[in-house]
């Protein structure tokens, strides 16, 4: 048992050593949960990869694997990249957390970066974006624009990130439109155009004239365009092809600055494990162009809200806010702490329905 174990580690080390010598380029790997052409989440991560290539040129080589299932297959995909001599590996979905941890433990000399998770190691960082800041802007526009007072929300999985987005959007819609009602459909997928289109259609049939989505395809945009008089927002990517209607704005994840900075850190030998959560201020979250379909005053308010968050003057979760059951969460003027936000598993007051479990 011991001997074989030693042999394996030796072989692993050898594999690493030979590849490390064979190349002087820094190799950066990406593990994607969807296809790079999804037009949303993975598409933006891949734009970050291309930005690395453009920024560093011949200094850096990038590799990627798309549509990697979350689970045992991910572990092999990540291991395979580490074996092939990657110096830095980004795993870009929450479901890659356990596999990334398992591989990172086996390859202490390779640096790992896991998006949206919470487990770290000396050679494993986590990074995520404060998408909820973008949701606040969306909520504001949605609350102002809706005529039926019903906002449809295509949610993916009931994890804190998604729940946080629903809460942020709801709070800011409610602020400008007390009559607002949210209808939420859980699609249990990050990317499935057929399911997303079905969900959008169902929400529109229930009277929603605004569709917010936490899934990555443009199918809901297409469904809204077909239905007419429904507005949507680009998710993860600008989804500009649906401008000016139904898409009136978008949340864009801009990973490029972060990816370039972390690659630079590996090249310089200054990389350290960290937990990063950046928002509009650092440019990781961008608000896509607000089209002319939105009245000028609403657009100005939305941009002011964005500006206030960028400058740190305003936090989307500022009290008084109660939980769904009516119990107090944040007192007047109190701002939510990151710990609670990161583990958020409750709706705020006013949202009907249950978080599935």
Residue 35 in contact with other proteins, rule: CB under 8 A: yes
Compute the distance between CA of residue 153 and CA of residue 215 in angstroms, rounded to an integer.
10
Compute the distance between CA of residue 233 and CA of residue 93 in angstroms, rounded to an integer.
21
Residue 4 in contact with other proteins, rule: CB under 8 A: yes
Among 15, 207, 244, 319, binds other proteins (CB under 8 A): 15
Residue 21 in contact with other proteins, rule: CB under 8 A: no
Min CB(4)–other proteins separation in Å: 5
Cβ proximity to other proteins, 26 vs 249, nearer residue: 26
Min CB(211)–other proteins separation in Å: 23
Which of 336, 288, 265, 231 is CA-nearest to residue 90?
265
Quick one: 199 exposed, middle or buried, by C-beta within 10 A (0-12, 13-18, 19+)? Answer: buried
Total of chain residues touching other proteins, rule CB under 8 A: 44
Which of 132, 131, 125 is CA-nearest to residue 168?
132
Min CB(65)–other proteins separation in Å: 5
Cβ proximity to other proteins, 8 vs 206, nearer residue: 8
Residue 160 in contact with other proteins, rule: CB under 8 A: yes
Min CB(310)–other proteins separation in Å: 28
**How many C-beta neighbours within 10 Å does residue 43 have?**
20
Q: What is the 3-state secondary structure (H, E, C) of 80-114?
A: HHHHCCCCEEEECCHHHHHHHHHHHHHCCCCEEEE
Q: x/- contact string, 56-95, with other proteins (CB under 8 A)? A: -------xxxxx-xxxxx-xxx-xxx-xx---------xx
Cβ proximity to other proteins, 77 vs 222, nearer residue: 77
Q: Are 177 and 209 in contact (CB under 8 A)?
A: no
Cβ proximity to other proteins, 115 vs 137, nearer residue: 115
Quick one: 223 exposed, middle or buried, by C-beta within 10 A (0-12, 13-18, 19+)? Answer: buried
Cβ proximity to other proteins, 314 vs 346, nearer residue: 346
Q: x/- contact string, 325-354, with other proteins (CB under 8 A)? A: -----------------xxxx---------
Residue 8 in contact with other proteins, rule: CB under 8 A: yes
Which of 51, 61, 77 is CA-nearest to residue 23?
61
Sign of CA dihedral 31, 36, 39, 43: positive
Q: Could you list the residues that contact other proteins (CB under 8 A)?
A: 1, 4-5, 7-8, 11-12, 15, 29, 35, 63-67, 69-73, 75-77, 79-81, 83-84, 94-95, 98, 102, 118, 157-160, 188, 342-345, 356-357
């Amino acid at each position: 048992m011991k001997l074989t174990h030693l042999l394996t580690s030796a072989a692993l080390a050898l594999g690493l050593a030979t590849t490390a010598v064979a190349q002087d380029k820094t190799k950066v790997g990406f593990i994607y949960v969807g296809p790079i052409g999804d037009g949303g989440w993975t598409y933006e991560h891949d734009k970050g990869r291309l930005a690395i290539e453009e920024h560093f040129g011949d200094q850096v080589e990038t590799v990627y694997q798309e549509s990697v299932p979350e689970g045992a297959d991910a572990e092999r995909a990540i291991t395979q990249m580490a074996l092939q001599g990657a110096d830095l590996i980004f795993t870009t979905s929450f479901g890659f957390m356990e596999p990334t941890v398992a591989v990172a433990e086996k390859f202490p000399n390779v640096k790992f970066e896991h998006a949206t998770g919470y487990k770290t190691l000396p050679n494993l960082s986590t990074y995520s974006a404060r998408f909820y800041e973008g949701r606040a802007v969306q909520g504001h526009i949605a609350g102002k624009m809706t005529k039926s007072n019903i906002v449809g929300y295509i949610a993916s999985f009931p994890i804190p990130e998604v729940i946080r987005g629903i809460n942020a959007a709801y709070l800011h819609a409610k602020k400008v439109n007390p009559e607002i009602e949210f209808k939420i459909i859980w699609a249990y997928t990050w990317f499935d155009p057929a399911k997303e289109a079905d969900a959008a259609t169902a929400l529109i049939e229930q009277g929603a004239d605004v569709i917010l989505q936490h899934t990555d395809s443009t199918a809901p945009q297409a469904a809204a365009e077909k239905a007419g008089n429904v507005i949507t927002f680009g998710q993860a990517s600008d989804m500009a092809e649906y401008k000016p209607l139904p898409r009136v704005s978008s949340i864009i994840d801009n990973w490029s600055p972060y990816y370039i900075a972390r690659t630079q850190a590996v090249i310089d030998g200054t990389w350290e494990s960290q937990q990063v959560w950046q928002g509009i201020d650092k440019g990781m979250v961008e608000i896509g162009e607000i089209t002319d379909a939105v009245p000028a005053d609403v657009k100005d308010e939305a941009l002011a809200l964005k500006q206030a968050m960028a400058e740190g003057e305003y936090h989307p979760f500022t009290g008084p806010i109660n939980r769904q059951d009516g119990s107090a969460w944040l007192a007047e003027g109190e701002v939510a702490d990151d710990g609670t936000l990161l583990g958020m598993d409750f709706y705020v007051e006013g949202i009907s329905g249950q978080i599935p479990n």
